[in-house]
Amino acid sequence: MEPLDLLVTRLRSPHARFPGIDLVMLARTVDKMRALLPGGNIAGYQIKGFSARLFAELSIDENIVQQVIAEAQDEEEFIAWFAAHTDPDAYPAINVLLASVTIGQRDRAGLEERYPCVRDMADDDTLFDMLDRDDDITYASLQAP
């Protein structure tokens, strides 16, 4: 796959899903991992957090996934590998686990420090909503005038 520069290419939403893989956070994680490829730019994003939790829940090694992404010709090749190496029966529980975490369940002051948009969000908004809103702000300059 080609590297991504996350200073000029918006990450996919944590809600985005690959065709045939009904799993949240995976497409966003792949974007971050492509940004780690030579010629890419992770731009301050990180794999820890939701992406690391995704790998832990799937019992899959982050380094192996990174290697597969580096060697895959395209996302379709990666999706085929991923489908063959993970259990789709685990996806629904992982989706609930990751997508249901709310701002109120976390240290709000810490979130506000890293994500100032949290100041205008409710405790029952999800962290996925927070990430989407933060991306809207971060990538506002990339949107067409």
**Residue at 123: amino acid letter:** D
For residues 24 and 30, give the distance between their C-alpha atoms in angstroms, rounded to a whole number. 11
Res 125 pLDDT > 90:
yes
- For residue 2, the model assigns a pLDDT of 96
Domain-by-domain residue ranges, the chain?
1-87, 101-145
The per-residue DSSP string of 46-92 comes to -STTHHHHHHHHHT--HHHHHHHHHH-SSHHHHHHHHHHHS-GGGHH
Contact 95, 59 (CB under 8 A): no
pLDDT at residue 143 in the model? 61
pLDDT by residue (tens digit) across 20-56? 999 999 999 999 999 999 999 999 899 999 999 999 9
Give the phi and the psi of residue 41 in degrees, each rounded to 5: -145, 115
Which pLDDT belongs to residue 141? 75
Mean pLDDT of the residues in the chain: 95
